[in-house]
Amino acid sequence: MTALTPVPELAGVVAASPAMRDLLKLASRLAEGRTPVLIQGESGTGKDLLAHWLHHAGPRRDYPLIKVHCPSIPSELLESELFGHEAGAFTDAKQPKAGKIELAAGGTVFFDQVQDLTPNLQAKLLRVVEDCRFERLGGTETIEVDVRFVAASSVDVRQAVSAGTFRQDLYHRLSVVPLTVPPLRERRDDILPLAETFLARERQRRTTPARAFARETSEALKGYAWPGNVRELRSVIERAALYTTSDVVASAALPPHILEQPATLWAGRDRRPSLKEIEKEYIRYVLDQVAGQQTRAAAILGISRKALWEKRRRYGIR
């Protein structure tokens, strides 16, 4: 596991997989410049963390990093939020106010979910990205700023360009060097290092004394597809920590939907299991779910108590 940079906010950056190592090598080079960067990837992959890393690993680290979450600001207020306004620009504008771009002077402006910007704001943002100049809302004075622009999107912005909802010229300016964060299912080498990082965080919070994962737990974590990516993994480990009062996180502490997926039983292993191994693991899983109650487990498995007892003896399941 390679955790990059000692900045506290970036303690979760993990690059054990070749894909993430290559991505962070490129990001390291980009951090030193002022070229606009577009980060793309599925929801929960860590785009926000990468944007922070780009800022803190570069020469702008001592200046502001200002995030603009585009979907959360009403479109009628976003222009004033970005570019600021002069007194009297609109009804409630009693005093002049600097916008986020102006406040980020010397630093970085991070546009999260940039594809949600309206066409009008896209046009104004294009001018700032190209010329580093703008006017406050209701103002005539041209303000020059030295800022770096980083944008992120959970969709392929090229498709938004094709659909006519995102300006092609702005896309080309923002994506000089695009970064794509791969989904967690495509970088399974990162799953356990990330899980260990999240478990250590919960241990520091005194949520659990656990220091390791049982073998079955590790295999289940590696085998699951993680549609919610790193965000989902973090939530699962937080839940498992709450259920664990010993030094080891058992598979029973994981949510049922992870353990109940057939692929989870084998996808996290270095080799495909035999039918006997799958049966053994499933019997153990069912027994864990019913707290070892033989009658309930046999009913779920569709076999007699005697047959279950024989299988437990054969497989060494206590």
Task: List the CATH number of the domain containing 38.
Answer: 3.40.50.300
The set of residues, in sequence order, having a beta carbon less than 8 Å from that of 257 and lying 6+ positions away, is none
Cross-strand bridge partners of residue 150 = 37, 110
Confidence grade of residue 227 (pLDDT, cut at 50, 70, 90): very high
The set of residues, in sequence order, having a beta carbon less than 8 Å from that of 11 and lying 6+ positions away, is 3, 197
Quickly count: other Cβ atoms within 10 Å of residue 141's Cβ: 7
H runs (alpha helix) in 183-228: 191-204, 215-223
Quickly count: other Cβ atoms within 10 Å of residue 6's Cβ: 8
The stretch 183-199 carries a mean pLDDT of 94
State whether 276 and 151 are in the same domain: no
Count of alpha carbons within 13 angstroms of residue 149, beta-carbon side = 26
The stretch 13-17 carries a mean pLDDT of 84
Quickly count: other Cβ atoms within 10 Å of residue 303's Cβ: 15
The set of residues, in sequence order, having a beta carbon less than 8 Å from that of 241 and lying 6+ positions away, is 199, 202, 203, 207, 208, 210, 249
Q: Are 4 and 10 in contact (CB under 8 A)?
A: yes
Q: Is pTM beyond 0.95 here?
A: no
In one-letter notation, the amino acid at residue 310 is E
- Residue 1's pLDDT is 33
Distances (CA, A) of 136 to 91, 92, 93, 133: 15, 15, 12, 10
Q: Give a yes or no: residue 168 inside a domain.
A: yes
State whether 109 and 14 are in the same domain: yes
pLDDT exceeds cutoff 50 at 7: no
Among 80-89, 113-122, 227-236, the range scoring the smallest mean pLDDT is 80-89
State whether 106 and 168 are in the same domain: yes
Instruction: Say how far apart CA 224 and CA 120 lie, in whole Å.
Output: 42
State whether 220 and 110 are in the same domain: no
Number of domains observed in the structure of the chain: 2
C-alpha triplet 54, 128, 42: angle, nearest 5°: 45
pLDDT exceeds cutoff 90 at 263: no
State whether 293 and 200 are in the same domain: yes
Q: Give a yes or no: residue 3 inside a domain.
A: no
Instruction: Say how far apart CA 121 and CA 81 lie, in whole Å.
Output: 11
The set of residues, in sequence order, having a beta carbon less than 8 Å from that of 275 and lying 6+ positions away, is none
Of 159, 182, 205, the last residue of a domain is: 182
Structural domain for 261, as ranges: 185-315
Confidence grade of residue 271 (pLDDT, cut at 50, 70, 90): low
State whether 225 and 142 are in the same domain: no
Confidence grade of residue 304 (pLDDT, cut at 50, 70, 90): very high
pLDDT exceeds cutoff 70 at 152: yes
Among 198-207, 259-268, 270-279, the range scoring the smallest mean pLDDT is 259-268
Q: Give a yes or no: residue 2 inside a domain.
A: no
- Of 175 and 265, the structure prediction assigns the larger pLDDT to 175
Q: Which two tokens stand for residue 140?
A: 């005539």
State whether 161 and 211 are in the same domain: no
